[in-house]
Chain A
Amino acid sequence: MTKERLELLSDEVLHNLAKKVGLKSKAEWSRITLINSIIDAMEEERSETESLLNLAISMESKKYSVTIDEELDFSYDVDEEMEFPHRYNENMLHFMLRDNSWGFVLLDIKNSFYQQYQNDFGDIELILRVIELEDSIYKKDDIIDYFDIQIEKVEKARYINLPNEESFYCVELILRTSNRDVLVNRSQVLATSRNHVNYIMGDNDKLKTIVKLSGFSNVEDSYVAQKNYNRILPIDSMEEES
């Protein structure tokens, strides 16, 4: 979007654009000031976005930039009739890995299902239980630890921090009544990976050299640096550490 194109737009459209780029336009601003401020804000926004991206992704996004800022191209605005349902009114739970320490959960509970328990038990709570497992297949005996997150019925998605790298996790959607927990759904089991080279005591010098030449920090340094990063240690092991 060039200055020239902005100059062709009406005042009303310019003020809307200003809002869109996060600018609080003032009534006393002249048209020129408004246009210049929009251009500056867009430039700032663009450089912020670009700095967030890694090189490959940045390159890829260039393929899609035939105009300078398509945000302002209104010709493909989504039709109103294309509004999607907020939910599908079903019992569902999906668990995806965002990275090695964060998961993304999508959930829903069917109205009639929820209603039935509410009628029978009065106050009920919805719980997301994050379970850490020994293995990639869920077995009760393989549960290492778990924690519960109380959620609102309206909540349909959540990012969850997974405390440990190199572990297995699944999530359960639980309906808690006054006297029991009802399992609504259990997700797939996902493995969190380590975010560093796997240092093993006694690794030889050659291995350390090749790790460094491969573009990764010295194994010992990286182990120390990463050890407690994003980690929530269980209370008992914290005692051991001290």
Chain B
Amino acid sequence: MCSLNNSQGLLSLVLHAHLPFVRHPEYDKFLEEKWLFEAINETYLPLLRTFRGLEAKGVDFKLTMSFSPTLSEMLIDPFLQDRYLEHLESMLELAEKEIIRTRTNPEENKMALMYQKLFSENLVDFKGTYNKDITAGFKYFFNKGNLLLITSAATNAFLPNFSEYPEVVRAQIVTAVDSFRRVFSERPQGIWLPECGYYPGLEDILKESGLKFFISSAHGVMYSDTIPDRGVFAPVVCSNGVSVFPREKESGKDIWSPIDGYPGDVVYREFYRDIGFDLPLDYIRPYIQPDDVRVNTGFKYYAITGTEDKKYYNQTTAENKISEHVDNFIYNREKMIKKVSAVFSDRPVLFTAPYDAELFGHWWFEGPKFLEKLFVEIQKSKSLGNCTPLEYLEAYPDNQEINPVFSSWGEQGYAQVWIDSTNDWIYRHLFKIIEQMIELTERYPDATGLKRRALDQAAREVLLSLASDWPLIMKTGTTVPYATKRVKTHILNFHKIYESLSENIVQTEWLTKLEKKNNLFPDISYLVFQKI
């Protein structure tokens, strides 16, 4: 096995896990909460099993995972934990019904049994192994040194859009760091900038919070004044000492590309065909939305194949394909190592490869198995090792100083996704509440009691309104009414608190209800928005 010092190349996989804060105790069943349940079912729990599988095989894997604070706060929330359990039990019930329904169709039946196994394992892990708090599972591998956990901005705000207000950017970072410490009992040392959104000067705020590195888009580094001597194959360092790991494009393309990326192979499981849409309403009704809105159930029986003649999914064929793709992935990196080594050979070629965590399992069903196999094969490789950014920095602390430029990993590389005719209307209102929030910290520098509670909740509402998910959804066109409602609700909640404070009348009952609903960041201090 290659070590940090004797390998020719190092793969630094980064999985970014994020979901916006979606918690609706006011409804019996809430459609958007399924984002979380599906991610737990198909990504987070399968990933933990992958890690345990690697541990059992004695594979010393190295992986970085960022958990957005909104996601980790949801994962430790007892209400959502119980709701997930209800969802899981309902999926198990559906699995049993499916096993009976498909008994005359061996191919479907095999799949129904596969889903029953998946959900049963999830139940055992969720209830038994992790006592409903799956962050414990990630913490275990974090403490063991296999997993480097890093943070992200508190509510996934696209930070360049708020560069005018360093108070907001600092509030996002400080709140994220505090949340990370509460959930994972350690200070984070690195950060995933939401959407890789960077603007010059951001590193100063990161450094204040003790963050040592962030991941950047490739052009964020390559378009700087100085071309990095090692290209995207080594980190660079900002003038204040914060390190930047640029994304390596080819390793990204192997997996991300919708044309020739591995997840699009015809033998893999099709994401878009789900019995939630295919089976008669009377049968599927208990497992979709109460108003008969059909939703994904997670039971998908087809392989990607063609559009006309869909073939049933075959697990064995898919598993063979995984081996092929892992070999190809390693081959491509080894090929690149040879080429890059002609330019520099004083240290290993680094491949920083970030992906959305939910790609693995939720969308690319075979993703967790791909990772498992990949780490097993890397362990055998004579030229390719794997490491976390922090380990790399320990082994190679001297890196070229470069000033990265404004960039993101969004469409066309800047802020086009988050400032667009479909969503630009939100900024007038967001800037207004930001200014009012800063004003409140000046007006009440040491509030206590009910006033303090109102101010802390005001801070939560501002943070929640800033999530980049809402303008993203408005732009991409999925669940637009929900995103619009969320932005408006948080802004109006803030205004209500602001006006109450101005009139010196805070409605305790309303405030308590809101605190219970939007209950993330329990230790937040509104003073986090203090003027810089």
Contact = CB atoms under 8 A, between A and B. Distances in A.
25 contacts: A2-B294, A5-B294, A53-B476, A54-B409, A57-B195, A63-B35, A64-B473, A64-B478, A65-B479, A66-B34, A67-B289, A70-B31, A73-B31, A77-B481, A96-B164, A99-B415, A100-B406, A104-B424, A106-B431, A207-B227, A210-B231, A210-B343, A211-B222, A213-B343, A215-B249
A183 B100 CA distance: 75
Interface in A81-126: 82, 84, 87-88, 92, 94-100, 104, 106
B230 interface: yes
B226 to A, nearest CB: 7
Given A94-B164, A214-B222, A215-B250, 5 more contacts: A63-B362, A65-B479, A75-B291, A95-B164, A198-B225
A84 B491 CA distance: 9
A96 B34 CA distance: 34
A60 interface: yes
A78 B476 contact: no
Contact of A78 (B223, B246, B363, B485): B485
Nearest to A203: B227
Nearest to B432: A88
Interface in B422-438: 424-425, 427-429, 431-432
Given A62-B363, A97-B414, A211 B258 contact: no
B419 A104 contact: yes
A54 B163 CA distance: 24
Q: Which 7 A-B pairs have the closest CB atoms?
A: A215-B249, A214-B231, A99-B414, A210-B231, A193-B405, A61-B476, A55-B256
A49 B420 CA distance: 14
Contact of A213 (B195, B233, B409): B233
In this complex, the member of B233, B291, B295 whose beta carbon has the largest number of chain A beta carbons within 10 angstroms is B295
A213 B340 contact: yes
Contacts of A58: 258
Nearest to A60: B356
B485 A82 contact: yes
Interface in B1-52: 19, 31-32, 34-35, 38-39
A226 B205 CA distance: 33
A133 to B, nearest CB: 15
Interface string B325-343: 0000000000010011011
B414 A66 contact: no
Given A53-B476, A63-B358, A209 B343 contact: yes
B372 to A, nearest CB: 21
Given A56-B409, A67-B294, A210 B482 contact: no
B135 interface: no
A197 B340 CA distance: 18
A98 B226 CA distance: 23
A78 B484 contact: yes
Contact of A99 (B200, B358, B413): B413
Interface in A181-230: 188, 190-191, 193-198, 200, 203, 206-207, 209-211, 213-216, 219
B186 interface: no
Nearest to B280: A4
Nearest to A94: B431
B342 A209 contact: yes
Contacts of A200: 227
Given A191-B200, A216-B222, A70 B482 contact: yes
Given A94-B164, A209-B343, A211-B222, A65 B478 contact: yes
Contacts of B295: 66-67
Contacts of B340: 210, 213
A72 to B, nearest CB: 8
Contacts of A104: 419, 424, 427
B66 to A, nearest CB: 14
Interface in B449-487: 469, 472-473, 476-482, 484-485
